[in-house]
A and B are shown apart, each in its own frame.
Chain A
Amino acid sequence: MDGRSSYLTLGEKLCSVLFPLIGICEAVILGFVGCCGDLRRQPDRKFDYSFTDFVTVNEVEALFELFKKVSCSIIDDGLIHKEELQLALLKTPAGKNLFLDRVFDLFDEKRNGVIDFEEFIHAISVFHPGASVEEKINFAFRLYDLRQTGFIEREEVRQMLNAFLLESEVHVSEAILEAIIDKTFEDADADMDGKINKTEWKEFVLKNPALLKNMTLPYLREITTVFPSFIFNTQVDD
């Protein structure tokens, strides 16, 4: 770090020495305010930096680039609206998708109908290969607990299965649908009370880790190559 160029200001040097990650994150967020328009401010909220345990500075910056791209795609206000997320994931802003609704709701922690950068980075950090399995298990449980009752009920499984089949344009008879749901509860519902609680879910997933496949985005490790523009904007080397 010593041999680097001296065009870094004292403030930045301090930041990078004392609070490397925190400083850059704040710079990124404040810089973002000027860049893309109004940002709804919550001045009293403390920004939670726990994701920085496994997400590097360059990855944060690259995620910021991604956030900018998605949040300005339909409504240019620096916030991700449901249609913008839908456009990014399903390549079309139209139509209803149960899973997209769930993903959006889970990202939108503040429940104000939009995803800001803080919410975005919190949620997406769960998908980082470095995040703990425990976090992924919990996130998946909340995703599938459609009505947020603390249990994954039979009716919810049926709804999700139907949504999947509809999405795939694949049709099955009621009888087969029921057989699949029966088998699912046989596997997962240990106390056979007709619903899957958090503990049963955890045990089930630990026995079948492939079920968490969609909870990890290996690309997050290579995100710095997907969004190379950060190379020119970055203020810190890893």
Chain B
Amino acid sequence: MAGYLPFDETDLPTLYKKINAAEFSCPFWFSPEAKALVDKILTPHPKERIRINGIRRDPWFRRNYVPVKHTEEVEVNLDDIRAVFDDIEDQYVAEKSECSDTGPLLMNAFEMITLSQGLNLSALFDRHQDYIKRQTRFLSRRPAKDIISSVEAVAVSLGLKVHTRGYKVRAFLNVPLFSTRLEGMSANKTGHLAVVLEIYEVAPSLFMVDVRKASGETLEYHKFYKSFCAKLEDIIWKPAEGANSNLLRTITC
């Protein structure tokens, strides 16, 4: 809120002294109610310090506050678990020991290229050769949390349950910022459909939402994806015509 720490000293003993004496000052732009709440939170003595319930009841805190809704925990369908959970990805994340701290981690070209369908030879083993496999992903310029809430809301409106695996504050290369699994009955109510959705930050404030089928019929999946995108029109980014023609011109095989 202030943009700086309440207690910031170069040496630990001085720092601790300040904390214990509650020697801090709020910036001038804090309202009196905000300052009062901060005072109560930064009280040194734990018995005198405000509790979480107290914070929740505080009038300043309650202004414009929307509590987080918890989705119900439902039994996960264990069928096709190998296809859904990309274990090899987790294995590679564990292997990467350091994470360079040079600003926000953006995708580089090779991370995207490795997602390409033409380079994905596992399709050779695909037993269901009935339908043309098409890529299902789109871009968005909205903030990540808007994308997440829209995606979850639309999934629920289409009758699917949302199982969120995780929301990483800093993504490693090739590990999504956000990953979720959507499950339920397909639109024609004949079978189960499970979808994995991941969000990657491709460039500053530009996100790629990658959607793929985890289990269920391919045709039902594509029907779902069509309705899904129709409802997400306002977050999907489609740049102006000029960009497309440039793109087509530079492609040579």
Residues of A within 8 A of B (CB): 66, 70, 88-92, 96-103, 124, 127, 143-144, 157-174, 176, 179-181, 183-184, 187-188, 207-214, 216-219, 223, 226
**In the assembled complex, which residues on chain B have CB atoms less than 8 Å from the CB atom of A160?**
109, 113
Are B243 and A161 in touch, CB under 8 angstroms?
no
Q: Mark B115-137, 1 if CB is under 8 A from A, else 0.
A: 11111111111010101111101
Per the bound structure, the CA–CA distance linking A233 and B158 in Å amounts to 47
In the assembled complex, the CB of A37 is this many whole angstroms from the nearest CB of chain B, namely 21
**With A164-B112, A164-B113, A209-B95 as contacts: A90 and B118 at CB distance below 8 Å:** yes
Report how many A-B pairs have Cβ atoms within 8 Å: 163
In the assembled complex, the CB of B7 is this many whole angstroms from the nearest CB of chain A, namely 37
Are A159 and B250 in touch, CB under 8 angstroms?
yes
Q: How many B residues have CB within 8 A of the partner chain?
A: 55
**In the assembled complex, which residues on chain A have CB atoms less than 8 Å from the CB atom of B238?**
171
User: Can you show 10 pairs from A to B with CB atoms below 8 A apart?
Assistant: A96-B253, A98-B118, A99-B117, A103-B121, A165-B247, A172-B206, A172-B239, A183-B109, A187-B108, A209-B92
Per the bound structure, the CA–CA distance linking A161 and B107 in Å amounts to 12
**In the assembled complex, which residues on chain B have CB atoms less than 8 Å from the CB atom of A171?**
139, 238-239, 243-244, 247
Per the bound structure, the CA–CA distance linking A152 and B238 in Å amounts to 30
Are A124 and B121 in touch, CB under 8 angstroms?
yes
Per the bound structure, the CA–CA distance linking A144 and B112 in Å amounts to 13
Are A211 and B111 in touch, CB under 8 angstroms?
yes
Are A162 and B250 in touch, CB under 8 angstroms?
yes
- For A169, the closest partner residue in chain B by CB is B135
**With A166-B251, A184-B109, A213-B88 as contacts: A89 and B124 at CB distance below 8 Å:** yes
Per the bound structure, the CA–CA distance linking A153 and B119 in Å amounts to 19
Indicate whether B219 reaches chain A with its CB closer than 8 angstroms.
no
Per the bound structure, the CA–CA distance linking A218 and B92 in Å amounts to 14
**With A144-B113, A159-B250, A162-B250 as contacts: A210 and B175 at CB distance below 8 Å:** yes
Indicate whether B93 reaches chain A with its CB closer than 8 angstroms.
yes
**In the assembled complex, which residues on chain B have CB atoms less than 8 Å from the CB atom of A223?**
125
Q: Binding site of A, secondary structure by majority: helix, strand, loop or mixed?
A: helix
**In the assembled complex, which residues on chain B have CB atoms less than 8 Å from the CB atom of A172?**
139, 202-203, 206, 239, 243, 247
Per the bound structure, the CA–CA distance linking A124 and B124 in Å amounts to 11
Per the bound structure, the CA–CA distance linking A218 and B118 in Å amounts to 17
In the assembled complex, the CB of B74 is this many whole angstroms from the nearest CB of chain A, namely 28
Indicate whether B77 reaches chain A with its CB closer than 8 angstroms.
no
Per the bound structure, the CA–CA distance linking A223 and B125 in Å amounts to 8
In the assembled complex, the CB of B130 is this many whole angstroms from the nearest CB of chain A, namely 8
**With A210-B175, A211-B173, A213-B174 as contacts: A91 and B132 at CB distance below 8 Å:** yes
Are A211 and B114 in touch, CB under 8 angstroms?
yes
Indicate whether B25 reaches chain A with its CB closer than 8 angstroms.
no
**In the assembled complex, which residues on chain B have CB atoms less than 8 Å from the CB atom of A184?**
108-110
Are A217 and B121 in touch, CB under 8 angstroms?
yes
Are B174 and A211 in touch, CB under 8 angstroms?
yes
Are B203 and A176 in touch, CB under 8 angstroms?
yes
Are A168 and B135 in touch, CB under 8 angstroms?
yes
Are A179 and B174 in touch, CB under 8 angstroms?
no
Are B133 and A214 in touch, CB under 8 angstroms?
no
**In the assembled complex, which residues on chain A have CB atoms less than 8 Å from the CB atom of B208?**
170
Per the bound structure, the CA–CA distance linking A101 and B252 in Å amounts to 12
In the assembled complex, the CB of B51 is this many whole angstroms from the nearest CB of chain A, namely 43
**In the assembled complex, which residues on chain B have CB atoms less than 8 Å from the CB atom of A174?**
243, 246
- Given A170-B208, A172-B239, 8 extra CB contacts under 8 A: A103-B119, A159-B250, A163-B116, A170-B137, A180-B112, A208-B96, A208-B111, A219-B122
Indicate whether B196 reaches chain A with its CB closer than 8 angstroms.
no
